[in-house]
Copies of this chain bind each other. A is one copy, B any other.
């Protein structure tokens, strides 16, 4: 299993615990949730897009005629397997994108889109195969509130710093950011924690009380090690 595979096999809840152990308390994007329900865990390195507030004389529909417009360029530029992360300053009054742009991202093999602003066409967007995490739905076009200004800069999204290349993981609980230099070790430890908790959950479901089980005492841990070897063989 590589980093991506391991991160796909764990939850964002587990990742926040691993990061907390390492002194990171602010890795979860506030106000950003998955659109739709039929997706597995989203994983990929971040490509970033930064917006500032729009200005009436600059942000007109004609601006999109320029193919180098950063919003449109970001869609064509995000590498397959990456996650496009958009900094909308948490402004929920206008959409950061809609069905056509997000379909293009999907066609290009992008792993997902994350924004702390909403999307438009939320019905069809939720039905895409590519997962989208955002601040819900809003009909207004982005020009009402947003001016796309730059690609591949460090940004904030949902109150968390995102540096290009950071690993982005999203599931039903939301989105977590893992700094790229920690992705290898965090993914290993998270996978191990996930397996342990899978075992502990089974014990709890079977009637074990918390003391001795969660967190596990020496006996529970030993039983787990046996189970783990049988189950995963490593």
Contact assessment for A61 and B17 in the assembled complex, using a CB-CB cutoff below 8 Å:
yes
Decide yes or no: A153 and B150 within 8 Å by CB, A30-B92, A120-B173, A122-B172 being known contacts.
Answer: yes
Answer yes or no: A54 CB below 8 A from chain B CBs: yes
For chain A, give the interface size range. 35 or more
For residues 47 through 80 of chain A, which have their beta carbon under 8 Å from a beta carbon of chain B? 52-57, 61, 64-65, 67, 72, 75-76
Cα distance A33–B92 in the bound complex, in angstroms: 13
Answer yes or no: A44 CB below 8 A from chain B CBs: no
Cα distance A200–B164 in the bound complex, in angstroms: 30
Answer yes or no: A112 CB below 8 A from chain B CBs: no
For residues 86 through 109 of chain A, which have their beta carbon under 8 Å from a beta carbon of chain B? 89-90, 92-93, 95, 98-101, 103-104, 107
Cα distance A149–B155 in the bound complex, in angstroms: 9
For A122, the chain B residues whose CB sits under 8 A away are: 172-173
Partner of A139, one of B12, B53, B56: B12
Answer yes or no: A4 CB below 8 A from chain B CBs: no
Cα distance A54–B179 in the bound complex, in angstroms: 12
Contact assessment for A161 and B201 in the assembled complex, using a CB-CB cutoff below 8 Å:
no
Q: How many copies does the complex hold?
A: 6
Answer yes or no: A26 CB below 8 A from chain B CBs: yes
Decide yes or no: A21 and B61 within 8 Å by CB, A26-B53, A30-B93, A139-B173 being known contacts.
Answer: yes
3 nearest interchain CB pairs?
A123-B172, A12-B139, A13-B120
Excluding A72-B210, A123-B171, 18 further A-B contacts by CB distance (< 8 Å) are A15-B139, A17-B141, A23-B57, A25-B25, A26-B53, A26-B54, A26-B56, A27-B140, A28-B140, A30-B138, A33-B136, A52-B154, A53-B160, A53-B161, A64-B215, A99-B201, A104-B210, A139-B173
Interface of A with B (CB < 8 Å)? 11-13, 15-17, 20-21, 23-28, 30, 33, 52-57, 61, 64-65, 67, 72, 75-76, 89-90, 92-93, 95, 98-101, 103-104, 107, 120-123, 136-141, 143-144, 147, 149-150, 153-156, 159-162, 171-174, 176, 179, 197, 200-201, 204-205, 207, 209-211, 214-215
